[in-house]
């Protein structure tokens, strides 16, 4: 059965390029980004894992731990890592799960038989400190992910978890936000001292509250 937003992210124990991890324990009180790639020694995946490593500081700034997974074994991962580092000019600074028996791929429904019976699709799961799934994305094997979009969504998730706001289309960090419908306009004016712009009774903008 597919995982849905708000479900507890399945826990697991796995071997990785950085040793054995117990997933929930490894996450601790951090946010998590779990993403799958179809196979080692493939071109798109090599660029994706390199980009993830290059963005290490951005993920750390957001208290996000990153971990990758594919159905290749640990020896394959360890032989592939030098290629990623050479091509992208960066150290692979996050663990890659060896999932040869497909335990993690099955738990997270990462193999879509109509696309491929063997390889994982490019799944993305953002997991909150409460271990609940906050976001799921699925890309075909042929399309590399936009990691700036993933960071943008994490910014929105973290903002909206702490304030009674939502983010509009194409929002990015620093833009105005939307007051959620559960807050009356009168209460919004008191709650958001930077101002409330009433466009429609149900559409009220306010400057990003944590800026």
- Residues noted as catalytic: 45
Contact indicator for 133, 37 with CB cutoff of 8 Å? no
Order the strands of the 19-22 sheet from edge to edge: 19-22, 13-16, 96-98, 64-70, 31-36, 122-127, 133-139
CA dist 186 and 196 (Å) reads 10
CA dist 182 and 165 (Å) reads 10
CA dist 109 and 198 (Å) reads 42
CA dist 155 and 161 (Å) reads 10
């Amino acid at each position: 059965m597919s995982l849905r937003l708000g479900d507890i992210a399945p826990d697991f124990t796995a071997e990785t390029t950085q040793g054995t991890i117990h997933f929930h324990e490894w996450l601790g009180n951090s946010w998590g980004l779990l993403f799958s790639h179809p196979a080692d020694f493939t071109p798109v995946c090599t660029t994706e894992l390199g980009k993830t490593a290059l963005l290490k500081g951005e993920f750390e700034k957001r208290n996000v731990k990153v971990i990758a997974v594919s159905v290749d074994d640990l020896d394959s991962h360890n032989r592939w890592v030098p290629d990623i580092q050479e091509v992208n000019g960066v150290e692979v600074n996050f663990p890659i799960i060896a999932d040869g028996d497909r335990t993690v791929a099955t738990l997270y429904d990462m193999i879509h038989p109509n696309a491929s019976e063997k390889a994982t699709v490019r799944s993305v799961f953002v997991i909150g400190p409460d271990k609940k799934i906050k976001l799921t994305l699925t890309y075909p094997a042929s399309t590399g992910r936009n990691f700036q979009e993933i960071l943008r969504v994490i910014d929105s998730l973290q903002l909206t978890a702490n304030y009674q706001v939502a983010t509009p289309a194409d929002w990015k960090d620093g833009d105005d936000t939307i007051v959620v419908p559960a807050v009356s306009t009168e209460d919004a004016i008191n709650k958001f001292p930077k101002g409330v712009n009433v466009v429609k009774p149900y559409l009220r903008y306010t400057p990003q509250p944590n800026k």
